[in-house]
Amino acid sequence: KQEVTQIPAALSVPEGENLVLNCSFTDSAIYNLQWFRQDPGKGLTSLLLIQSSQREQTSGRLNASLDKSSGRSTLYIAASQPGDSATYLCAVPPNFGNEKLTFGTGTRLTIIP
Amino acid sequence: ETGVTQTPRHLVMGMTNKKSLKCEQHLGHNAMYWYKQSAKKPLELMFVYSLEERVENNSVPSRFSPECPNSSHLFLHLHTLQPEDSALYLCASSQPAGYGYTFGSGTRLTVV
């Protein structure tokens, strides 16, 4: 059974700093990995989707990497802003054709102005 | 908007009421999902529909009844709910795994 863990559970950093969020998964037979952000009481917004054949994806100040063999992904946020404050979730489907996402436990990020 | 629209955004209902949550997507996706998110708990998958056929029911109580009349619409019918059913209910859609998931903004349900 796939298990996804995110460390740390919570993180507070001053505005302007670069930061890294971590995601670990136990079964490396994944088809892709997706990072989401969730604002309090709101739905999930997709940030980045990395296919298993890719090593990283970039969107603006965000960069996500994927190392399938070690079961890890990182989300790098450059020059953090107060608007980046949210909970960040990573999620994996176990294999192609299986529709079920397994979510990580989430990292609650607070950017201090 | 993400392309997945959920209505209503907020709902307060009594334990004897019957209400329905609606989800709509026009992304051309052929799978749709209901998730429940309770306070301080991880997301829980409730139902999966693929090509309008239910393929997953994660032991959800019968007071929750899903309906998928076509590939663009998904409903969650609610009746005789309990206060512990108060949560954020999220709808999502996807193509077959490999192309990512798109979530709606959710319905905040409060059962009184």
Identify the pLDDT of residue A34. 94
Q: For residue B54, what pLDDT is reported?
A: 80
Please report where in the chains the tokens 């992904």 appear, as a residue. A73
The encoded tokens of residue B13 equal 């209902």
> How far is the C-alpha of B10 from the C-alpha of B108, rounded, in Å?
5
Question: How high is the pLDDT of residue B73?
Answer: 96
* pLDDT value of residue A95: 62
Nearest CA-CA distance, residue A98 and chain B, Å: 6
Average per-residue pLDDT in chain B?
A: 90
Chain A residues within 8 Å of chain B (Cβ atoms): 31-32, 34, 36, 41-46, 49, 51, 89, 91, 93, 95-101, 103, 105-106
Test B98 with A99 for CB contact under 8 angstroms: no
Overall average pLDDT of the A81-109 stretch: 85
Mean pLDDT check: name the lowest of A28-32, B11-15, B24-28, B64-68: A28-32
pLDDT tens figures, B53-105: 787 777 899 999 999 999 899 999 999 999 999 999 999 998 865 578 899 99
Hey, what are B104's tokens? 């709606």
Residue A102 has pLDDT above 90, yes or no: no
CB-nearest to B97 from A41, A43, A96 is A96
Q: Counting Cβ atoms within 10 Å, is residue A104 exposed (0-12), middle (13-18) or buried (19+)?
A: buried
Task: Check whether A101 has a pLDDT greater than 90.
Answer: no
Percent residues over pLDDT 90 in chain A:
74
Collect all residues from B whose CB is shorter than 8 A from any CB in A: 2, 6, 31, 33, 42-43, 45, 48, 50, 55-56, 88, 90, 92, 94, 96-106, 108
Residue A93: per-residue pLDDT: 80
Q: Given this model, what pLDDT does residue B46 score?
A: 92
pLDDT at A41: 85
Which tokens go with B82? Answer: 């309990």
Distance separating alpha carbons of residues A46 and A89, to the nearest angstrom: 9
How many C-beta atoms lie closer than 10 Å to residue B31's C-beta? 20
Question: With an 8 Å Cβ cutoff, are B101 and A101 in contact?
Answer: yes
pLDDT of A28: 87
Cα–Cα distance, B76 to B34 (Å, whole number): 8
Q: What is the mean pLDDT of chain A?
A: 92
